Amino acid sequence: MMKGSRNLAQSLSLTKAKSKVTKAALVGWLLTQTVLMSAPAMAQARQTLNYTGLLKKIDAGEVERVEIDEAQSIARVRLQGQNKNEPPIEVQLLERNPELIDRLRKNKVSFDSQPTADNSVVVGLVANLLLFMLLIAGLLLILRRSSNSPGGPGQAMNFGKSRARFQMEAKTGVMFDDVAGIEEAKEELQEVVAFLKKPERFTAVGARIPKGALLVGSPGTGKTLLAKAIAGEAGVPFFSISGSEFVEMFVGVGASRVRDLFKKAKENAPCIVFIDEIDAVGRQRGAGIGGGNDEREQTLNQLLTEMDGFEGNAGIIVIAATNRPDVLDSALLRPGRFDRQITVDLPDRKGRLKILEVHARNKKLSDEVDLEKIARQTPGFSGAELANLLNEAAILTARRRKDAVTMLEIDDAIDRVSIGLAKNPLLDSTRKRMTAYHEIGHALLTTLLDNADPLNKVTIIPRAGGIEGFSQTVPNEETIDSGLYTRAWMLDRIKVILGGRAVEAEVFGEDAIDAGAASDIGKVTQIARQMVTMFGMSDLGPVALESSGGEVFLGRNMMPQSEYSEELASKIDQKVREIAKFCYAEARRLLRENRPLVDRLVDVLLEQETIEGDQFRTIVQEYRDSLSQTASVTS
C-alpha cells in the first residue's frame, strides 16, 4: 500500500515537472515568433531618409505616397514596392517646404496633410490642475492635523483664542498648610479665598471683593506656590496663564486673547485668573528707543480695559506674579486693578525653619541633623534654594551609599549651592601655602574686628569656577532684612576684604602679590564709592552725589546725568582712595601684630584643609589668653 502511494506521488511530481517544461517551451516559442515578426519592421524603422534624399527619390519616381504632418514637421513616406505591413519611413521636414509640394505635384505623387492632435495644451492644463489639487490636499492635511492637536479644533486658525489652562476645581495638591515661611502674604491671600467661599460675610459690612492682587518678590520666594495654594483652597474655577502667552508676532492677537480670556472668566464667575510673569505684557508703555512695541502695548491696553474699564467684571479676581515691579506700567498698579500688592519677602530664620520642615517630610534624615542650625547657616536663602539644598544633600547621601542624610552632607550641599562644586585638593606647593595665607588673612580679620560678621568656616579646598579657597561668614540677619548697614560695618567689611592682599604683602613682600585679589579690590572700590556718593559717609557732607541709573529700555534717560562738577568728581575719587588706603593700612597693622597667630593658623589649615568657625575662634582665644598671661608675668 505504501509502495503504491509512493509511485503515485512520483508520477504526480513528474507530471507537474513536464507541465512546467511545456509552459516554458511555449513561452520561449512565442517570444521567438514575436522577435522574428518584428525584426523586418524594426529593420525598416531603422531605415533613415533625410530631406534631400526624399527629393531625389521623388524625382526618380520611387515614392508612392507621402503624408505630411505639419504639427510635428514630419513626412511619412511610402516607397514603390514597399510591403503594406511595413511602417512608412519618417522624414524630418524643414520649417518651410515649398519645393517638396512642387516636386510632389510635378511627379504626380499622391500626398496628403494629416496633422496629429497637439496635446501640449491639454497636458499643460492637466499638470497645472494636478499641482493645484496637491496644494489643496496639503492645506487640508495641515488643517486636519491642527484640529486633532491637543490645542483643540482649528488651532492653526484660532490665533486669537486664549491659551489659559482652565480647571473647574483646581486640584493642585498644594494647600496653605504646605506653604511656609511667608505668613504675611499667606494671610492676605487667605482673605481672598474666604471672600470667594463666603462673600456674604464681607458684603454685609459693605466690603467689596478685591479685583486683583499682585504678588511681588524675588525669584524662588514662593509666588507661584501661593497661587497653587489659592487654587487648591478656593474650590472655584481657576484660569492660569503666563504673560508671555499673550504676546505674538501677529498684530492684535494678544488683545484678542485677553478679550477671550475674560469672556470665559465671566461665564464662570466667580473665578480666579492667575497671570504668571505679568511683566512680559505689563511693561511701561512708550518705553525704549524710538517708541515701544505696538503689539505689546495694545495687549496691555486691552488688559487694563478688561480689569477696570467701562464694563465691570464682577466676581473675577486677577492674581498676578512678578519679580520686576519696577518695570510695570503705573496704570496697571493702581487700585481698582490691583487693589493689593503683596510682597513675598525672603524668609527669616523662623520661616526658613518651617520651610525646611516642609521639605524634610519626604527626606530620611539622621538624628544628628539640626534644622534649626541649618536655618541659622542659610540667611538670604529663598524657599526654592532651601528645597534645592535638601535635595542636593539627599543626592550626596545616595552617592556616598549612606542610609540617611547627615550634617556632613548638609554642609557640603550648602557649599555646593552657594559657592560651587568641590574639586580635588591642591598638592603641597607654594601656591597652596599662599592660598592658605590669603584665606587666613580674611578669616583672622573677621574674628578680630568688632563689627565684622562671625566666621562660619575657612577652607583651601578649590571649587569650580577658579575658586582656590574661601572664608565664609554668617551675615547678620537683622542687617540683611533691614538693609541698614553702619559706617563701622562697612569699614570693617573693607578691611576683611583686603585681608588676603594685606597678609601676602606682610609675609611674602610687595613684589610677591599676585592678581588673585582682583575681585576683592573691585568690591572694595564699590563699597567705598557708595559710602562717599550715596550714603554721605565722608567729609564731603550728607549729600547724594550719585543714584542708581535707570534702564533706557524702561523709559529712563539714555545717558546718566552728571550730578556734580569735575572738581567734585576729583574729590570723590580722592575720598574713595583715602578709605581704601586707610583700611588696607589697618589690615596690615592687625596682621603684623598677630603674625605668630597667622603662622599657627596657616599650619592648622594646611593640615586640615578646612577650619570650622568655632575651632578657629578657639585657637584665636587661646592665643589671646597666652598673650595676656605673658603680659601679666612680665609686669
Q: Report strand pairing: 271-276 vs 316-322.
A: parallel
**Catalytic option among 233, 306, 385, 439:** 439
Radius of gyration of the chain (CA): 46
Residue pair 179/226 in contact (Cβ under 8 Å)? The answer is yes
| Structure-derived torsion over alpha carbons of residues 534, 538, 543, 547, reported in degrees to the nearest 10 | -20
Tell me the C-alpha distance between 587 and 551, whole Å. 38
DSSP-assigned letter for residue 452: S
| Helical (H) or strand (E) element with 415 | helix 407-418
Q: Which residues are within 8 A (CB) of 565 and not within 5 positions of it... i.e. 6 or more apart?
A: none
Tell me the C-alpha distance between 70 and 92, whole Å. 10
Q: Which residues are within 8 A (CB) of 181 and not within 5 positions of it... i.e. 6 or more apart?
A: 222, 347, 348, 350, 351, 352, 354, 355, 383
Strands (E), 513-625: 610-612
Chain-centroid distance, C-alpha 178: 28
Chain-centroid distance, C-alpha 564: 42
Q: Report strand pairing: 238-242 vs 271-276.
A: parallel
- Please give the single-letter amino acid code of residue 24: A
Is 439 marked active-site? yes
**Which among 445, 508, 500 has a CA at the least distance from the CA of 467?**
500
CA distances 556 to 288, 289, 291, 330, Å, are: 8, 10, 12, 14
Catalytic residues: 439
